[in-house]
Structure 1
Amino acid sequence: MGKKQKELIHVREKVLANGNISLYLDIYFNGKRKYEFLKLYLIANPKTAGDKEKNRSTLQLAQAIKAKKLVQIQNNEYGFASPTKTKTNFLEYFSSLSELRKEEKGNYGNWESALKHLKEYCKDDTTFDDINTEFVEGFKNYLRVTKTKSHKLLSQNTQHSYYNKLATCLRHAHDKGILIVNPTSSVKAPKPGDPERDYLSFEEVKAMAKAECRYPVMKRAFLFSCLTGIRWSDINKMTWSQVQDLNGIPRIVFRQKKTQGQEYLDINEQALVYLGERSKPEDRVFEGLKYSAWHNMELQKWCIRAGITKEITFHCGRHTFAVMMLDLGADLFTTSKLLGHRHIKTTQIYAKVLDKKKQEAVNRIPDLGI
């Protein structure tokens, strides 16, 4: 009688803090062990017939998933049959995904920053064989305690951003069959903090308009953003064919680079002035506009000449427009449409920045008579 073959997959149970039981697959093949949490839960100590039936159905589903995974292993579809895939260098793989985002200036910068931290966190020869839940949890904790050059802890939003870059990379590797199980599925991502929205007041915008800027095209583009809320990426690629006229009202017709949403944005005559002299339909409106650390520094110098000490980036022009609209009495829905937001909750962030009711309340405090 032949030796009984060991089972490759077991359905295991893990008791949670709330008393319920989480089901997961324990997969052992070719000397490697992997865990896959199913997001299926049993009711501990079921008492009613309904609870017992629910547990029976949940276990039945877990066994069906187990059977499917077993077939995938046997058909060489589950990733175990390609050990060379798991030997892929992790940092090189992450870097290749980063390079794909080179055209997305801000996003690419975040990917590159996340890569720098990953290089600090793990060894150069780290492969996907080394990537598991402990690796992900470790990077999450690394971000929590890491300090910047100015000896400050990374902000909540920065931690959230860098972790998400890792999660995107591992999800991509999982989709490509390099990872059998995506380890981020059982790790809770760092929560983002309330994002800060640096913006200029209307008086500060006026001061910027009067101050000298080394690059006139930057000045026109930034002030245009302050008056329209259009992002740098859309301003940078804007052509004269997108500057149109509807019954005497100037408007910009464009597809947002970030969301791919088609936008029809009416603008006022004041914003129209900053577009300059019309050229050929295919020509860029802001010809010569560039993005770099050097140009960001020149933007900051321009702010200083205007008497502004805030740390302003080009994107602050969009924030300035949003706050200005709400300050002038535009409702959230209208402001959301002007900004091209998909969800009004995104626009509500600006309402927190400018809460007139709070301002009015504190102004009711009586004079102390000092």
Structure 2
Amino acid sequence: MTNLCTKVTVRKRPIKNGQLSLYLDFYPAIRNPRTGKLSRREYLGIYIYAHPKEKFEVQYNKSMLQNAELIRCQRIQSIINQDFGFIDHSKGRESFIEYFREAMNESTNYRNWENAFKHFCNYAKGECCFDDITVEFCQGFLTHMLKLKTPSGGTMKASTANNNFGKLIAVIRRAVAAGRLKDNIIPFLKPAKEEKTKKEFLTHEELKRLAATPCKHEVFKAASLFSCLTGLRISDIIALRWENICEAPDGGWCLRLTTQKTKTEATLPLSDEALRLCGERGTGQVFKGMAKSLCPVYLKDWIVAAGITKHITFHCFRHTFATLQIASGTDIYTVSKMLTHTNVTTTQVYADVVSELKREAANKITLE
């Protein structure tokens, strides 16, 4: 027999980040028909703003409270009918980690997802069920990543942590849509604040000067200038093979490859000048002997010999390509595709750099 419950009340419990967790309070307590244990509380997994300020926050709270009230009414009806199926939370004990793994295996960007999945598994110590997915737990994942040490001795960048955090949010969104999670906590999940870092690049004049300056390693020079003309990362240039360079339908040439970092399939136009940097067509690796280990040996001396005082890394050649393309009038969506960015907002930073340069140029002419 179960105790007769005469009252079910929606209550709020303060939690972190200025939020309230909604739960049902049963009085007297109800008894689980399977375990025999008494229970007075049922947490709904619904979270609202403790002190709503914006109009959308007030509307969100109102909507969530209405949802909680609907559940309260359903519980009362269930108790009257002696139907205690609502206290069976077995589905909530199913593995969220396995659900995350399924989403990763179905993604088109497996490597990017794999990194996020590994970090999440480490954070959860290999065990996480759907009931564990709370605002506090998910925000803790972000905090965990921001404290992780990198091989260079620093900590994980906010942008990298947010990228991984975004994968978790995508899985939660999928679970909500599939009815695996009762409530959508995504509005309460906040990304880490990213510091804007200056993306160094070469001006068109500096690029021409660098191209005219001898380098002690000709293959390294050719690969570097090739990056400036195509925007390819060093990993893709090292992996580039002659079979990746094909004739395009318009009679020109193009690159057909899968990027090393994001595993994105791409077909990119190739200019005649970039093709000449590849040398005589052959087999195997295009830039034979090219390796990351050449950068610290040859790059700095070559940059200094060209009279360039900026701190230039090989990746700056990719920045150079993007900035000069936008500065010359290429629209941001085209540049985004050529850089194989998955989101155009990633490319927006280059447009911001160009806008800043234009403002600086305008300010150089004054009447005083």
**TM class, shorter-chain normalised?**
0.5 to 0.7
- 1:363 match: 364
Distance 1:108 1:57 in 2: 31
- 36, 50, 61: which one pairs with 2:45? 36
Change (3 A) 1:361 1:169: same
**Could you report, residue by residue, the CA deviation over 1:269-320 in whole angstroms, capped at 9, with x for unpaired residues?**
21011233334xxx65537688xxxx44432333213135636244x33221
For residue 34 of structure 1, report the CA deviation from its aligned partner. 4.7
- 2:163 match: 161
Change (3 A) 1:130 1:108: closer
Contact persistence 2:255–2:270 (CA under 8 A): no
What letter is aligned with 2:296? Answer: Q
Correspondence list, 1:1-370, <5 A: 2-4=1-3, 34-37=43-46, 59=66, 63=70, 74=85, 80=90, 83=93, 85=94, 107=112, 111=116, 114=119, 124=125, 127-128=128-129, 132-141=134-143, 155-164=157-166, 167=169, 186-194=188-196, 196-202=198-204, 203-204=206-207, 207=210, 210-213=214-217, 216=219, 219-231=221-233, 235=237, 236=239, 240=243, 242-245=245-248, 250-252=252-254, 254=256, 257=259, 258=262, 263=267, 265-279=268-282, 286=286, 295-307=291-303, 310=311, 312-314=313-315, 316-330=316-330, 332=332, 335-336=335-336, 338-339=338-339, 345-354=345-354, 355-364=356-365
Q: TM-score, normalised by structure 1?
A: 0.58
In structure 1, the gaps of 5 or more residues are 44-54
Contact persistence 1:224–1:274 (CA under 8 A): yes
Distance 1:356 1:269 in 2: 29
Distance 2:335 2:136 in 1: 44
Query: RMSD value over aligned CA atoms?
Result: 5.9
Contact persistence 1:198–1:319 (CA under 8 A): yes
Distance 2:64 2:144 in 1: 40
Distance 2:271 2:233 in 1: 17
Distance 2:177 2:284 in 1: 38
Contact persistence 2:22–2:68 (CA under 8 A): no
Q: Secondary structure of 2:303's partner?
A: coil
Contact persistence 2:227–2:317 (CA under 8 A): yes
Distance 1:191 1:66 in 2: 41
Q: Secondary structure of 2:90's partner?
A: coil
Q: Secondary structure of 1:364's partner?
A: coil
Distance 1:320 1:187 in 2: 35
Number of aligned positions between the proteins: 329
Q: Alignment identity in percent?
A: 22
For residue 321 of structure 1, report the CA deviation from its aligned partner. 0.7
Distance 2:280 2:326 in 1: 31
Contact persistence 1:160–1:190 (CA under 8 A): yes
